[in-house]
Structure 1
Amino acid sequence: MDEKDPKKAAAAKARARSLTSGRRKEIAQKAAEARWSKDIPIADFEGSFRIGRTEISAAVLRDETRIITQATFLRALGRSRSPKAGTGVLSTVDELPFFLQAEVLRPFIDNELVASTRPIFYRTKNGGKGVGYNAISLKRVAEVYLQFRDACLNSEAGRVPARYATMIKAADLLIRGLAEIGIVALVDEATGYQEVRHRHALQEILDAFLLKELAAWAKRFPDDFYKEIFRLRGWEWRGRKFNPPQAVAGYTLDFVWDRLAPGIREELEKRMPKTEAGRNKGKLHQLLTEDIGHPALAQHLHAVIALMRASKSWAQFKLMLDMALPKRGTTLQLPFVDEK
């Protein structure tokens, strides 16, 4: 890496040390305000994926730049979610992010890496503030740590300093994980399998939830589920042996089967055997597996009942339900309900 003028660098550091903490905070605040007041790119696509045990949050900007969010970028490198107090996530020395500032890493850093690890500020899909790094730099930063490791092992000491052990282990796992993901992605793209793999993944989830045949009937919906519906609707509860209003069947589909897991209701209705008249031969919950399906249903029902009990009105319950257990692909209600 080309070195800057040592005198200028030393002078810059001296000026930084001479500033009071209040002045540094004021400068940082003004810089932040200026940064977010100008036009910044917008993310049109957002999502996440896993590398080993680490969940990586990503975005694609309108200029097709791939972003890995700042927090998950750091976690993937074995760093804490935030830097140590006083350093600041975005603080740099000689244009380097803090995770590359160690002097021992300098021999392995080139100008291309410096350019690719500058923080990128963008607007998220919902209009929030996002900060991240170019996705390609994650692999390159990990390689710097591994080059440092190799140099340490080949040195007279023959070992890696303990303070870098966690980061080097994370970098090694990261490179291995990226290699595995990369070869799978190449095969999927070359064969066209990428167009159907998400459907296969969804099918695996559904198969884990659902049985092939109808299981023996057992009571799975507690009375409290129906009692709370009747209370919030202002209806008289006379027990389950009396036929409830037809609307309750629709509420069950809405509150439970449309929200339990993606695609569950559609798959249940597809697998449910029919009579000659076209009616279901059993209850939808009879198709759930004992090890995954029924525990998931029970947990979901407890959550719904808890929201009902916490609600004073039907409108309040529906609002909280949509916020806590939204249907996939639906727009959340805005909390403008007057509950006086």
Structure 2
Amino acid sequence: MTRKTNIIKHDGKLDLSGFTIDCYVLEDGTRVLSAREMQRALKMVDEESNYQVAGTRLQRYLDQKSLRPFIYNEKSENYYDPIVCYQGDKKINGYEATVLVDICDAFMEAKNNIELSSRQTIIATQCEILIRSFAKVGIIALIDEATGFKKAQDEYQRLVGMYIADELRPWLPTFEEDYYQQLYRLIGWDWSLYTSGVWKNHPQYVGKITNEIVYNKLPRGVLDELNKLNPKNEKGNRKHKHHQFLSENVGYRELLQHFGKLSVIFSMYGEGEYKLAKAHIDSLLPDFRVGKQLGLDIPMDANDYSSISSFNRKKNQS
């Protein structure tokens, strides 16, 4: 299978004083803005027109004969070529981020030198508003850099990145049948409803529990990243399993270690005692665990069950 290029590693929304544009950072560090959102922010389409999904209106304006001397001034013909990037299986059309600044400069220069059409005038006026917004965003970025806030954010993203694989891993049996059987027992469900085929799939509630006691115990942001890489379709199903996106040496390895901890805790509780087991899990394995460098607890060692035994002694004494 050919590996896709231009893979999105981070995404967000760029707030430009009321104008929001979807933005992305690719695996090679390229910053990209959504073509669709750019043409909306530039008022190249009317709001009620649903602003052409692929951003094709933007490309047509870049190629208008009257604007070309300003758009392509000292720039190559391929300077404004769109970038096709991928977020999981989703294809996104965009432009390198600084292209938006160049477009704004070009329209403002054209406004000062030629007579524009009514729509071109609207766009040029919008470009002036956006340019002022860029200045405000620049000030915020400088403050983030000076205060070390950006460095903290970068460290947070680095930790999340350690747990996410560079590409989809082949499926391997990961959630063993015993995991689900123990959950059914703790919840108070009849396991034979599943094994006999009465229930063809596990109830959605099992997925909710799995997020709570498994994926939410990975570092802050990992589950959010998994949801982006492996989104639900219109029927509410996912194409892949979340664990296929975990890195082999860190994310997947810790997932398997986590199952060992859950197995020990599950064995301490009887039928229908899921709430007690969940409280035990949360006391030992707080949600969104990250390293001490971000002020939270380091995950306990996979083989260290002394704290579990301590909890069990307290439970028996109460």
- How high is the TM-score relative to the length of structure 1? 0.42
Higher relative contact order (CA 8 A, sep 6+): 2
TM-score between both structures, scaled by the size of structure 2:
0.45
Looking at CA atoms only, which structure, 1 or 2, has the larger radius of gyration?
Answer: 1
